[in-house]
Amino acid sequence: MTDKVVTSENPQEITEQQVVEYLRTHSEFFTNNEYLLKEIKLPHQSGKAISLAERQVHLFREQRDDLQRELADLIDIAKQNDQFFDKSKRLLMNLLEAQSLDEVIIVVEDSVHNDFGLEHCSLLLFGDRVEYPVSNVQMVSQIEAETVLGTLIESRRAVCGRFTADQLQCLFPDNSADISSAAVIPLRGTEVLGMFSLGSKGQDYFESGMGSLFLSYISDTLIRLLPPLLQREKAGSKAESVASLLD
């Protein structure tokens, strides 16, 4: 008897997706048929065909390189955070030693310019200049500031980006013409004491989505330091007024 090979007149075609699904559900396939790894050829960027095993090695090397780059980036970020912490600690310690509003301004400006390399900073306090004649701090009435700054005063966090000419003039009265972008945060304790701002000549330096950790750090510190200093200067002003009347 002669063996017959039975074939279908319309054999079912195996699709690419079926092959993919089979390999997914039979992960041991190439383990049991390891010789195929050397026979399967894949295109390479160099134009030369390589085996599947060689391609896997190449992919592993790419993953290793990616991980090494990510690790290097994390190390750089850690170093930057260490530097930020050291600079912030130095700023805090110097602020704790400040005995007047003028000394606060000197400490903040020195840190912003020399430690953090930023071009402009401004501490704008809400109040009456007559009540604080001793200090060189920029002061404006809260009503006037609200007219110009609007919802900026109501913000609970830093606002970064570009501002109108009137807003910049209010926030940076001495150098508003040099500022193209800024980061602004209200000094909000039990009440709004004023506004703290950083400015740059670069239009895109302070982008709207920029992080504001440094700005928030300074504002949180100033909120705690300023009230007693303001009271001290206000009391000193009244004492001088009384003394002048008695003379």
The domains of the chain, with CATH numbers, are 99-246 (3.30.450.40)
pLDDT given for residue 166 in this prediction: 94
| CA separation for the pair 245, 12 (Å, rounded) | 110
Long-range pairs for 134-143: beta carbons < 8 A, 24 or more residues apart: 134/100, 134/101, 134/102, 134/233, 134/236, 134/237, 135/100, 135/101, 135/102, 135/233, 136/101, 136/102, 136/105, 137/101, 137/102, 137/104, 137/105, 138/173, 138/174, 140/170, 142/192
pLDDT at 172: 92
Closest CA to 100 of 142, 125, 136: 136
Check residue 170 and give its pLDDT: 92
pLDDT of residue 132: 62
Token pair for 164? 């109108």
Roughly what angle, to the nearest 10 degrees, separates helices 52-96 and 213-246? 10
So what's the pLDDT on residue 142? 87
Q: What share of the chain is helix, strand, coil (3-state, %, to 5)?
A: 55, 15, 30
3-class DSSP assignment, residue 188: strand
At residue 58, the pLDDT reads 72
How do the pLDDT tens digits run along the chain, 247 residues long?
444 444 445 456 788 888 888 888 887 877 777 777 666 666 655 555 556 667 677 778 888 888 889 998 888 878 877 887 888 888 888 988 888 888 888 898 899 889 888 888 888 888 876 666 556 678 888 899 999 998 899 888 889 889 999 999 999 988 888 999 999 999 988 888 899 999 988 888 887 655 577 788 888 888 988 888 888 777 665 555 545 555 5
CB-facing half-sphere around the CA of 35: CA atoms within 13 A: 0
Note the pLDDT of residue 31.
74
Predicted local confidence at residue 165, as pLDDT: 93
Using N-to-C axis directions, what is the helix angle for 213-246 and 101-110, rounded to 10°? 150
Return the closest-CA partner of residue 230 out of 156, 132, 161. 132
Give the integer Cα–Cα distance in Å for 102 and 135.
6
Token pair recorded at residue 11: 């054999």
Whether the Cβ atoms of residue 170 and residue 142 lie closer than 8 Å to each other: no
